[in-house]
Amino acid sequence: MSQDKSFTLDGKTVPYQEGQTIIQAAMAAGHYIPHLCFNPEFKPHGSCKLCTVKANGRQTASCTQQAQPGMVVESDINELNDERRVLLQMLFVEGNHFCPSCEKSGNCQLQATAYELDMMSPHFDQFFPDRPVDASHAEYLLDFNRCILCSLCVRASRDVDGKNVFALSGRGIKSHLIVNAKSGHLADTDFSGSDKAAHVCPVGVILKKRVGFSVPIGQRTFDAQPISATPHPKVKGA
Amino acid sequence: MNAPAKPKLKVATTSLAGCFGCHMSFLDIDERILELMKLVEFDRSPITDIKHCGPCDIGIIEGGLCNAENVHVLREFRANCKILIAMGACAVNGGLPAQRNHLSLPLILEEVYHAQHGLVDGFIPNDPELPLPLDKVHPIHEVVKVDYFIPGCPPSGDAIWKVLTDLLAGREPELGHGLIHYD
Amino acid sequence: MMTSQTNVHAEYLNPILARRQHNPNDLLQILREAQEQHGYIHTDAIDYLSLELKLPRAKIEGVAGFYSFLYLQPRGEYRVLFSDNITDRMLGNMELLENMCAQLWVEPGKVSEDGLLSIETTSCTGLCDQGPALLVNNIAINRLTPARVSSICELIRERVPLSAWPQEFFAIEDNIRRKDILLGSDFKSGAALSALFQRGADATLQEIKTSKLRGRGGAGFSTGMKWEFCRNAAGDAHYVVCNADEGEPGTFKDRVLLNGYADMVFEGMTLCARVVGAKQGFLYLRGEYRYLLDHLQAVLQRRRQQTLLGTSILGEAGFDFDIEIHLGAGAYVCGEESALIESLEGKRGTPRNRPPFPVTNGYLDRPTVVNNVETFASASLIALNGGAWYAGIGTETSSGTKILSVSGDCERPGLYEYPFGVTVAQVLAECGARDTQAVQVSGASGVCVSADEFERRIAFEDIPTAGAFMVFGQQRDMFEVARNFVHFFAHESCGFCTPCRVGTSLLSNMMDKLANGHGSPYDFAEIEKLNGLLQSTSHCGLGHAACNPVLDTIAKFRPAYEKRLAHKDFVPAFDLDAALSQARQMTGRDDTGAHLERSHESR
C-alpha cells in the first residue's frame, strides 16, 4: 500500500522520506535549490527566502515546505531566479559587503549564490549601515558588516554547542547579531574555536584570525566550481 | 565577430573615485586590443588624453563618486553615451573609497588635515580649484542610470573583453561562472 | 560572578520574579514590570534576571531589543510617544510634537541632556476617534491641543508625578455611536455560562458552528471549526488566548469592548475553555492599552469571587479555568497569532512557520485557540441566544454584526456596530462624513475604497475587515496616506525574513524619494516591482500586506503619484548639493564650484 514518495523538481523525479522538506529531499538527491539560511545539518529556519519555489503553483520556502507525493515543484525558472536575485541585492545593500577585503571571498555562500544567479550589481541604493567589528577574541574575529541574519550561528551555539553565544536583537531593519556578554564582546563569552558555531557562518562574519590568503583569491571553493555544483559536505548525492 | 565593415563605435572611459586598477585590467586583454581597435575608436580615455567626452556609443566608468568633480564627469558621460557601463567594484558598489562612509566627513577632514600626528599648522585645503568631497561615497547607479555592470576588484581583462564583445555583437552581455567575480 | 546580594536591582526584581514564579516564559512580562520600576532595563538587571531565570543574557537582551516599548538605555523620566497614525497626522500631531520639543528644548528621538525626558513617535495608539494622542510612560492621553501640550510641558518641567496629573488628560472616551446586538445587549455576567451548563459543551460547540461565527480579527476563519480542531487535538493541556493586540492602525473597538464589555469577552473565553478543555487562558493586551490593566484585573477578580473563574466554575466540579493578562510592548506583528504565542512565551515576536497551526501546536506547543476580543464577546451572545438566532443576522456568509472603528474626516468618529452587509455609503452617511474621497477599511493592511465603490458592503464576501474605517475627505493627499502606512510597516517589520525586513525599508525610502521631489517614472516602476516581491516571498501577512496601501492607491489614485514624478529621467534619491554642505562648512567655501545642481536632466 506504499504511496509513491516522490515529487518532481523542474520535471525531474525526486524521492523523499516522510517528514523531509522539499529542499532536504532535493539536496539528498543531488539537486541544487539556492539557499542561505538553510544548512542540512540544522532544522530549517525559513528566513532568507532564497529557496522560494513554486509547489503546485504556489510560492513557498522549500526549506520549510514538507514534500508531498506527486507535488510539482518549479525552482530553476526565470521568474523565481529574478526574485532570488532581488533578495540577494537586498542582502548586499543592507550590509557592507566589500568582497575584496573579506577573507571569506571565494568561500562565501552569499557571494557564490549571487554569482550563480548572475547578480551584476546591487541595484538598490546602498544602506551603508554603521556596524561594528569585534576583534576582542584571541582567535576569532566578528565582522558584523557582513551579517545576513541567517541565525545559523545562533542555532549552532544553542542546539549543538549548548552555549548560547549568539542571539538576535533589535527588530526590522535594526535587527542585529549580539553575543552573550555584558561587555558585548566575544572575548567575554565562552565561545571557542572548536564550537560548531565557529564554522557555520555562510558569509564572513565569524572568521579565524591570522589565516589570511592561505589559499589565494581565485583558487577558492566557489572559484573552482559554481555553488550549484558544490554539494554540502554532509549531503550525499551529486 | 562581425566583419569590420561597419563604422567604428565610439568608446569613452574614465576613472572617478577608483585606482585605475580596472583600466590596468582592461589592458590585460593584451593583443586583443588590436582586434578591439578595428571595431572601436576611443574618445575621452586615459589612452587618448582627450579631456571631455563627446557623443559616444559606449561609456565605461571606473570608480565611484567621492567628490563634486566625479559627479560632473559622470553626468557628462551619461549625457553623451548611449550605453553606460559601471566597471569594477568602486563604480558598482562604492568599493574601497566607500569604506569611509561609516565616518563623518568633518571627522575625516579634521583627522587628515588637523589632528594627525606630525602635522604642523595644518589647514583644510579651500582652493576653489579643488573639488569638494561628498559627505558619502556613492556607487554611480545611485546618481545616474547605468545600463551594464562589470563587477570585480578589478574585473579580469577577460570579463571586460566578454562584456564589450557581447555588446559589439549586439548580444546581452553575460559573464557566467569564472568571469563574474566581486573580488 | 554577580550575586544577588551585590545587585541593587534585586530589590525591585525579587517581588516581580516571585509573583511570576521565576517562570522564564513570563520574560516579557518580567521585563515590562522591571521597566515600570526602573524606567529602563539596566544591564545589571539583565545579569540578575539571567541568573534567576537561568536564561542566557543574550536571549534576554534579544527579547528586550525586539519590543519598541522596552529600553536598554535610559529614555528619560518622562517618555513621551506621539501616536503617528495618519489620523493623528490629519489632526496635526507633528505640529504638536514640534511644539513640545521646542518648549522643552529637546530633539525628537533624543533624551534631554538632564535626562528628564524624551519625545518620539509611535505607531497608532488606538485613539483615532479622540486624537491626536500620545503615551507618557505608556499611559494614554487623548485630545491633544496646543493648550494641553503646554500643560504637559509644565508638568514635566515641574517633575510632577504622573499620578498627580489632571485626570481629564486620561479620560479616554468610549464614543459608542451605534449599538446593535453586541454593544446593545444587557449581558449579565454568568448568563452565558449558565446557558452552557444547561446545554452542555458539545451542544454549545454546535451552536457556535450553527451561528457561522467567523473570526473578527479580519481573516474570518470559522470559530466553531477552530474550537473543534483544538478540542480534538491531542495534548496534555489546551489553552485559550484572546488576541487584544489591537495594533492595526485605525482600529479601537477592542479598547471599548475591554473597557465596557470585559465580562462578555472573559465569559466567551471561559465558554471556549469548557469546549476545548482548557484550564488556562491569556488575554494578550497591547502595551498601548496599559491603562486598562487595573480595570481588567478588577473584573477578573470579581469574576473569581462570583465563581465565574477559578476552580469549580459555578459549582461545576472539574471545570477549572483562569485567565492571566499579558501585556504587549509595542510590536504590531504580535497581532499575528503565532507571533503572539511566541510573545506569550516570553520570546521575540517572530511569526512561526505554519503549518503546524496553533490549534494543534500553540502555546508551549499545546493545542491553543487564539480568537479576537470581538469573537469571544460574540460567542457569549451566541451561547445565550443560540446559533440560529445569530446566523439570521447579517448576510448568508457573514453572520452577525461587525463593530467598526470610524475615524478621520467625519463629524462623529467612534464605534458603529452594524449587521454585516452594511454599505460603505451608509456608514459614511451616519458618521457625518461629507465629500469623502476614500475610506481605508481594515487599517493599513486593508483595502482603500474610492468613491465609486461606496455601495460595496462590509462583509467577508466583499470588503472583509478587522474593524478600522478611516475616512479621507477630498482635501487629503492619498499618496501621503499610503506613505504613512508604508513607514508603519517598515517600523513594525519583525526583521525575520529578507523581503519584509529590507523590502519595507526600501519601499519607505522610495516613497520618501517621491515625496521629496526626486521621483521619476523609473521609481514608480521600482515601487511596483518591489510590491510584487513582498507579496510573493514574505514570511507572514505583514509582509504580504505591506504593499496593499501602495497598490490600492496606485490603482485608484494614480494622479496622486503622477504629480510626484517630477522628473522625466532618473535622478538621485539624495540631494547632491546638500551632500557637499559639510565640505563647504569645513572649507568655508561657497563659490559656484562648491555647489552641484540638484538634478541634471537631458531635456
| Chain segment B102-152, per-residue pLDDT in tens | 999 999 999 999 888 888 888 899 999 999 999 999 999 999 999 999 999
Pairing type for strands C134-136 and C78-83 reads antiparallel
Chain A (195-234) residues lying within 8 Å, Cβ to Cβ, of chain C: none
Q: What confidence tens digit (pLDDT) does each residue in C241-258 have? A: 999 999 999 999 999 999
What confidence score (pLDDT) does residue A212 get? 85
Using a pLDDT cut of 70, give the percent of chain A over it.
97
Q: What is the mean predicted confidence (pLDDT) over C5-10? A: 79
Task: Give the separation between CA C401 and CA B84, rounded to whole angstroms.
Answer: 61
DSSP summary character for residue C486: H
DSSP summary character for residue B63: S
| Domains in chain A: boundaries | 6-76, 82-229
What confidence score (pLDDT) does residue C603 get? 33
- Chains B and C form CB pairs within 8 A to the count of 59
The string of DSSP codes covering C330-380 is: S-GGGGSHHHHHHHHTTS--PPPPSSSPTTTS-GGGS-EEEEEHHHHHHHH
Domain C479-562 architecture: Up-down Bundle (1.20)
Q: Up-side HSE of residue C429: CA atoms within 13 Å toward CB?
A: 7
Q: Measured between alpha carbons, how far is residue C557 from residues C52, C471, C481, C566 in Å? A: 56, 15, 11, 17
- Using CB atoms within 10 Å of the CB of residue C486, give its burial: 0 to 12 exposed, 13 to 18 middle, 19+ buried: buried
Q: Up-side HSE of residue C62: CA atoms within 13 Å toward CB?
A: 28
Residue pair B170/B148 in contact by the 8 Å Cβ criterion: no
Q: What confidence tens digit (pLDDT) does each residue in C280-330 have? A: 999 999 999 999 999 999 999 999 999 999 999 999 999 999 999 999 999
Buried-exposed string C24-61: b where 16+ CB fall within 10 A, e elsewhere: bbbbbbbbbbbbeebbbbbebbbbbbbbbbebbbbbbb
What confidence score (pLDDT) does residue A1 get? 36
In this complex, the residue of C570, C573, C589 whose CB is nearest that of residue B132 is C589
Residue pair C201/C274 in contact by the 8 Å Cβ criterion: yes
| Domains in chain C: boundaries | 10-66, 78-173, 178-391, 479-562, 576-603
Task: Give the separation between CA C235 and CA C574, rounded to whole angstroms.
Answer: 56
In this complex, the residue of B68, B125, B142 whose CB is nearest that of residue C580 is B68
CATH value of C178-391 in 3.90.190.20, 3.40.50.11540, 2.40.110.10, 3.50.50.60: 3.40.50.11540
Chain B positions touching A100 (Cβ under 8 A) are: 89, 95-96, 153, 182-183
Q: Does B143 sit within 8 Å of C576, measured CB to CB?
A: yes
Instruction: For residue C585, name the pLDDT band (cuts at 50, 70, 90).
Output: very high
Residue closest to C337 by CA, chosen among C321, C355, C319: C355
Q: Residue A238 pLDDT > 50, yes or no? A: no
Task: Give the separation between CA C274 and CA A201, rounded to whole angstroms.
Answer: 48
Q: Does C586 sit within 8 Å of B109, measured CB to CB?
A: yes
Three cell numbers, residue B107: 571627522
Residue pair B60/B161 in contact by the 8 Å Cβ criterion: no
Q: What confidence tens digit (pLDDT) does each residue in A168-213 have? A: 999 999 999 999 999 999 999 999 999 999 999 999 999 999 988 8
The string of DSSP codes covering chain A is: -----EEEETTEEEE--TT-BHHHHHHHTT-----SS--TTS-----S-TTEEEETTEEEETTTSBP-TT-EEE-SSHHHHHHHHHHHHHHHHHTT--GGG-TTTTT-HHHHHHHHTT-----SPP------EE--SSSEEEEGGG-----HHHHIIIIISS---EEEES-GGG-EEEESSTT--GGGS---TTSGGGG--SSSSEEETT-TTSS-TTSSHHHHS-GGGS--TT----
Task: Give the separation between CA C260 and CA C295, rounded to whole angstroms.
Answer: 10
Whether the CA torsion A135, A136, A142, A143 is positive or negative: it is negative
Q: What confidence tens digit (pLDDT) does each residue in C550-580 have? A: 999 999 999 999 999 989 999 999 999 999 9
What confidence score (pLDDT) does residue B122 get? 83
Residue pair C396/C404 in contact by the 8 Å Cβ criterion: no
Q: Does A125 sit within 8 Å of B86, measured CB to CB?
A: no
Q: Does B128 sit within 8 Å of C591, measured CB to CB?
A: yes
User: Which residues sit opposite C120 in a β-bridge?
Assistant: C81
In angstroms, how far is CA C170 from the centroid of its own chain? 20
Q: Does B102 sit within 8 Å of A106, measured CB to CB?
A: no
Task: Give the separation between CA C586 and CA C603, rounded to whole angstroms.
Answer: 35
Q: What is the mean predicted confidence (pLDDT) over C455-484? A: 97
Residue pair A55/A73 in contact by the 8 Å Cβ criterion: yes
Answer whether C603 touches B (CB < 8 Å).
no
Q: Does A122 sit within 8 Å of B93, measured CB to CB?
A: yes
Nearest residue of chain C to residue B136 (CA atoms): C579
Nearest-Å Rg of the Cα atoms of chain B is 18
Q: Does A169 sit within 8 Å of C66, measured CB to CB?
A: yes
Q: Does C504 sit within 8 Å of A49, measured CB to CB?
A: no
Chain B positions touching A123 (Cβ under 8 A) are: 141
Answer whether A215 touches B (CB < 8 Å).
no
Nearest residue of chain B to residue C586 (CA atoms): B106
Residue closest to C489 by CA, chosen among C552, C534, C554: C534
Least Cα separation, residue A28 to chain B (angstroms)? 24
Q: What is the mean predicted confidence (pLDDT) over C572-593? A: 96
What confidence score (pLDDT) does residue C305 get? 98
Residue C397 neighbours by CB distance under 10 Å: 14
In angstroms, how far is CA C212 from the centroid of its own chain? 26
Preceding amide of B154 cis, omega within 30: yes
Nearest residue of chain C to residue A81 (CA atoms): C533
Q: Which of C518, C567, C580 to mutate to test the interface with B (most CBs of B within 10 A)?
A: C580
> How much is the mean pLDDT over chain A?
95
Nearest residue of chain A to residue B174 (CA atoms): A118
What confidence score (pLDDT) does residue A234 get? 79
Q: Does A124 sit within 8 Å of C506, measured CB to CB?
A: yes
Answer whether A231 touches B (CB < 8 Å).
no
Instruction: For residue C219, name the pLDDT band (cuts at 50, 70, 90).
Output: confident
CB within 8 Å of C286: residues ≥ 6 apart = C126, C244, C245, C246, C247, C327, C328, C334, C335
Secondary structure of residue C540 in the 3-state scheme: coil
Using a pLDDT cut of 90, give the percent of chain C over it.
96
Ordered domains of chain B (ranges, CATH): 9-99+134-168 (3.40.50.700)
Q: What is the mean predicted confidence (pLDDT) over C587-594? A: 95
Answer whether A174 touches C (CB < 8 Å).
yes
Q: Does C580 sit within 8 Å of B128, measured CB to CB?
A: no
Secondary structure of residue B6 in the 3-state scheme: coil
What confidence score (pLDDT) does residue A3 get? 55
Q: Where are the beta strands (DSSP E) in C50-100?
A: 78-83
ipTM > 0.95 for the complex: yes
Task: Give the separation between CA C247 and CA C332, rounded to whole angstroms.
Answer: 5
Place of cell 526602573: C38
Residue C234 neighbours by CB distance under 10 Å: 8
What confidence score (pLDDT) does residue C354 get? 87
Instruction: For residue C599, name the pLDDT band (cuts at 50, 70, 90).
Output: low
Q: Measured between alpha carbons, how far is residue A214 from residues A204, A217, A219 in Å? A: 16, 9, 10
Nearest residue of chain B to residue C575 (CA atoms): B143
| The CA-based dihedral angle spanning residues C433, C435, C441, C444, taken in that order and rounded to the nearest 10 degrees | -110
Q: What confidence tens digit (pLDDT) does each residue in A135-159 have? A: 999 999 999 999 999 999 999 999 9
**Lowest mean per-residue pLDDT among B45-54, C46-55, C299-308, C461-470:** B45-54
Residue pair B84/B144 in contact by the 8 Å Cβ criterion: yes
**Lowest mean per-residue pLDDT among A46-55, C380-389, C521-530:** C521-530
What confidence score (pLDDT) does residue C312 get? 96
Place of cell 565640505: C583
Task: Give the separation between CA B21 and CA B100, rounded to whole angstroms.
Answer: 19
Chain B positions touching A130 (Cβ under 8 A) are: 102
Chain B positions touching C583 (Cβ under 8 A) are: 105, 109, 132-135
Place of cell 561609456: B59
Q: Is C564 left (phi over 0), alpha (psi -120 to 50) or beta?
A: alpha
The string of DSSP codes covering C281-304 is: EEEEE-GGGGGGHHHHHHHHHHHH
Q: Residue A21 pLDDT > 50, yes or no? A: yes
Q: Residue A2 pLDDT > 50, yes or no? A: no
Name the neighbours of C, counting chains with at least 3 Cβ pairs within 8 A: A, B
Place of cell 505608556: C138
Q: What confidence tens digit (pLDDT) does each residue in C68-120 have? A: 999 999 999 999 999 999 999 999 999 999 999 999 999 999 999 999 999 99
What CATH number has the domain spanning A6-76?
3.10.20.740
Nearest-Å Rg of the Cα atoms of chain A is 18
Q: What confidence tens digit (pLDDT) does each residue in C375-396 have? A: 999 999 999 999 999 999 999 9
Q: What is the mean predicted confidence (pLDDT) over C259-281? A: 98
The one-letter amino acid code at B14 reads T
Chain C positions touching A175 (Cβ under 8 A) are: 495-496, 501
> How much is the mean pLDDT over chain C?
96
Residue C175 neighbours by CB distance under 10 Å: 18
Least Cα separation, residue A213 to chain C (angstroms)? 31
Least Cα separation, residue A126 to chain B (angstroms)? 7
Q: What is the mean predicted confidence (pLDDT) over C520-535? A: 93
Chain C positions touching A167 (Cβ under 8 A) are: 56, 58-59, 61-62
| The CA-based dihedral angle spanning residues C90, C93, C99, C100, taken in that order and rounded to the nearest 10 degrees | 170
Q: Does A86 sit within 8 Å of C533, measured CB to CB?
A: yes
> How much is the mean pLDDT over chain B?
94
Phi then psi for C178, rounded to 5 degrees?
A: -140, 120
CB within 8 Å of C121: residues ≥ 6 apart = C81, C82, C83, C84, C93, C97, C108
Domain A82-229 architecture: 2-Layer Sandwich (3.30)
Preceding amide of C464 cis, omega within 30: no
The string of DSSP codes covering B131-183 is: PPEEEEEE-GGGTS---EEE-SSSPPHHHHHHHHHHHHTTPPP---TTT----
Residue C246 neighbours by CB distance under 10 Å: 30
Task: Give the separation between CA A190 and CA C58, rounded to whole angstroms.
Answer: 13
- Chains A and C form CB pairs within 8 A to the count of 115
Three cell numbers, residue C519: 521621483
Q: What confidence tens digit (pLDDT) does each residue in C409-457 have? A: 999 999 999 999 999 999 999 999 999 999 999 999 999 999 999 999 9
Chain A (176-195) residues lying within 8 Å, Cβ to Cβ, of chain C: 178-182
Residue pair C131/C470 in contact by the 8 Å Cβ criterion: no
Chain C positions touching B79 (Cβ under 8 A) are: 600, 602
What confidence score (pLDDT) does residue C417 get? 98
Least Cα separation, residue C450 to chain A (angstroms)? 31
Chain A positions touching C46 (Cβ under 8 A) are: 182
Domain C78-173 architecture: 3-Layer(aba) Sandwich (3.40)
Q: What is the mean predicted confidence (pLDDT) over C347-366? A: 96
Q: What confidence tens digit (pLDDT) does each residue in C197-208 have? A: 999 999 999 999
In this complex, the residue of A52, A93, A167 whose CB is nearest that of residue C61 is A167
Instruction: For residue C399, name the pLDDT band (cuts at 50, 70, 90).
Output: very high
Answer whether A86 touches B (CB < 8 Å).
no
CB within 8 Å of A233: residues ≥ 6 apart = none
Nearest-Å Rg of the Cα atoms of chain C is 25
Least Cα separation, residue C349 to chain A (angstroms)? 9
Secondary structure of residue C428 in the 3-state scheme: helix
Q: Does B139 sit within 8 Å of A92, measured CB to CB?
A: no
Answer whether B135 touches C (CB < 8 Å).
yes
